[in-house]
Amino acid sequence: MPPSVRAVVTTRMAGVSAAPFAALNLAMHVGDDPVAVTENRRRVREELALPSEPRWLMQVHGMSVAMPGRNATGGADAAVAFEPRQVCAVLVADCLPVFLASRAGDRVGLAHAGWRGLAAGVVEATVVALAADPADLVAWLGPAIGPTAFEVGAEVRAAFVASRPKATAAFRPTVGGRYLADLPALARGRLVACGVTEVHGGGHCTFSNPGRFYSYRRDGRTGRMAALAWLA
């Protein structure tokens, strides 16, 4: 990422939440004690020296993008910022956080890309919202459920392959008509298709590292990490 862009994904460590949310759960909607979540969010702000309270979204696995100065009515799964002091945030626990920034370091975007949002076009919508030449953007893919753990049904494969036949390469058949899906590869393909050619990351699996990451697919009732992006 450019020097003026800050991009962070928290882990589950060093917070105050009790099991099964132990320990740095940053989500208010999962059944954790709100007092603990508030303290966890305070610790993150302090540790990262955030310039403002992150813009916490009501995520709905869609493709809406929260724009600066506008209320994200009805929920949103991505945000963009064009000025310092605006902190974009998405909560994740297997879904893929997709960071985007201009090479000039004057705009940043962040998308919550579970398979539904990815298939719906949340990555493309975030690129459009940044109002920049896609060739001038760089992307980084954060921790998400990896291709050896993300088993899906044929309907998930169909949702991607119907509009993008090249997406077939991101699905490996298992048994009973099911597939192992490579979520980072699907996101990378969509980024490249809309003109973002410099894409990094995508190598950290949330499912396979329980000590470091939350995973909804692995644990069910669990906490959420935060992906955060802002301009310094």
Residue 112's pLDDT is 98
Residue 193's pLDDT is 96
In a domain, 212, yes or no: yes
Q: Which residue has the tokens 């009973």?
A: 176
What CA–CA distance (Å, rounded) separates 77 from 79? 7
What CA–CA distance (Å, rounded) separates 104 from 5? 10
Structural domain range at position 119 = 5-144+204-231
In a domain, 25, yes or no: yes
Task: Kindly report the pTM of this predicted structure.
Answer: 0.96
In a domain, 186, yes or no: no
- E strands, the chain, are 5-9, 65-66, 78-81, 88-92, 96-102, 108-113, 137-141, 151-152, 171-173, 179-181, 198-201, 225-231
Residue 39: phi and psi, rounded to 5, are: -65, -40
Query: Is 116 within 8 Å of 160 (Cβ atoms)?
Result: no
In a domain, 166, yes or no: no
Give the domain CATH number at 219. 3.60.140.10
Domain count, the chain: 1
Residue 72's pLDDT is 64
Write out the chain's pLDDT in tens, 232 residues: 788 999 999 999 999 999 999 999 999 999 999 999 999 999 999 999 999 999 999 999 999 999 997 766 679 999 999 999 899 999 999 999 999 999 999 999 999 999 999 999 999 999 999 999 999 999 999 999 999 999 999 999 999 999 899 999 999 999 999 999 999 999 999 999 999 999 999 999 999 999 999 999 999 999 999 999 999 9
Residue 163's pLDDT is 87
What CA–CA distance (Å, rounded) separates 23 from 154? 35
In a domain, 199, yes or no: no
What CA–CA distance (Å, rounded) separates 30 from 36? 12
Cα 215 to Cα 35, 44, 53, 143, 173: the distances in Å are 22, 20, 25, 10, 23
